[in-house]
Amino acid sequence: MVDTILREVELSDAQQIANIYNYYIEKTVITFEEELVSAKDIQERIEKIKQSGHIWLVAEIDGQIVGYAYSAPWRDRSAYRFASEVSVYLSHISQGKGLGSLLYQTLFEQLKSTQIKILIGGITLPNEASVALHEKFGMEKVAHFDEVGFKFEQWLDVGYWQVKLN
């Protein structure tokens, strides 16, 4: 991955990010969103993440965004300010090349220099690849919710994994 650049997201990345994410909305149950997102929607999400003091990274190869990872507030109430939900998405043609690990490793390292102490990842189940990625970074399963999502005419479970940063 010598030619992979990891960097902070820019608003101008929004269309490429929307393209990556819309694949998952349209074709998978990985996200429970059902309506495609626009570049403007992604720009608003980027701004919200940055304003909250969290981190959004992109992986770029030959000028193309091939994946992204970000942290976001776990919940709105102030007592949750030390917990962050983390997510990673890769272009569907960039999976299995170690990019998810590279993004998470960099994100987790950067989060260590913030006030965040707990990282939480939500995973639609079953999803062996995502479970393996989260557990690779020391995350442990702490919750399992049966049939809490309904997409593509099927009920879906969600599991939550967490890790303490320090």
Domain boundaries, the chain: 4-164
Cis peptide before 73 (omega within 30 of 0): no
Task: In whole angstroms, give the CA distance from residue 78 to residue 130.
Answer: 29
* Predicted confidence band of residue 2 (pLDDT cuts 50, 70, 90): low
Helices assigned H by DSSP within the chain = 14-27, 39-51, 99-111, 128-136
Q: Which one-letter amino acid corresponds to residue 108?
A: F
As a whole number, mean pLDDT of residues 127-139 equals: 96
Specify the DSSP class assigned to residue 126: S
pLDDT of residue 3: 86
> 159: closest CA among 107, 120, 129?
120
- By the 8 A CB rule, do 74 and 80 touch? yes
Cβ–Cβ contacts within 10 Å for residue 6, how many? 19
Provide the token pair at 27.
Answer: 């074709």
Tokens 């991955």: give the residue.
1
Please determine, looking at this structure, whether the domain spanning 4-164 carries the CATH number 3.40.630.30.
Answer: yes
pLDDT digits (tens, 9 = 90+) for 45-99: 999 999 999 999 999 999 999 999 999 999 999 999 999 999 999 998 888 788 9
pLDDT digits (tens, 9 = 90+) for 54-67: 999 999 999 999 99
- By the 8 A CB rule, do 37 and 14 touch? no
Task: In whole angstroms, give the CA distance from residue 40 to residue 44.
Answer: 6
| pTM higher than 0.85 | yes
pLDDT digits (tens, 9 = 90+) for 91-122: 988 887 889 999 999 999 999 999 999 999 99
